[in-house]
C-alpha cells in the first residue's frame, strides 16, 4: 500500500510538511531544530498565506 492508497482510504491522513515555526524573514533560525515543526498541508497553506501577508505589509511600511 503506497501513500496515495492510504490517503484515499483515510481522508484524515493528509500529508505533512516541515515548517519553520518562526519565519526566517522574522528572525527565525534557518538551521536550528528548535525552529522546525510538522504541519498538515492545509495548516501550512494557511500559515504561509499569513506569513506572506505580514512580509508584504513590512515591505510596504519600509518604503
Residue pLDDT, tens place only, 6-62: 555 666 666 899 999 999 989 999 999 999 999 999 999 999 999 999 999 988 887
- The Cα–Cα gap between 39 and 19 comes to 7
Cell 492510504 locates to: 6
Is pLDDT larger for residue 63 or for residue 46? 46
CA atoms within 13 A on the CB side of 11: 0
Q: Report whether 49 contacts 41 (CB < 8 A).
A: no
Q: Is the pTM of this model over 0.75?
A: no
Q: Report whether 38 contacts 17 (CB < 8 A).
A: yes
Amino acid at each position: 500500500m503506497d501513500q496515495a492508497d492510504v490517503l484515499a482510504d483515510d481522508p484524515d491522513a493528509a500529508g505533512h510538511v516541515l515548517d519553520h515555526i518562526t519565519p526566517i524573514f522574522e528572525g527565525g533560525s534557518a538551521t536550528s531544530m528548535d525552529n522546525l515543526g510538522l504541519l498538515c498541508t492545509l495548516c501550512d497553506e494557511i500559515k504561509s498565506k499569513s506569513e506572506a501577508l505580514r512580509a508584504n505589509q513590512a515591505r510596504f511600511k519600509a518604503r
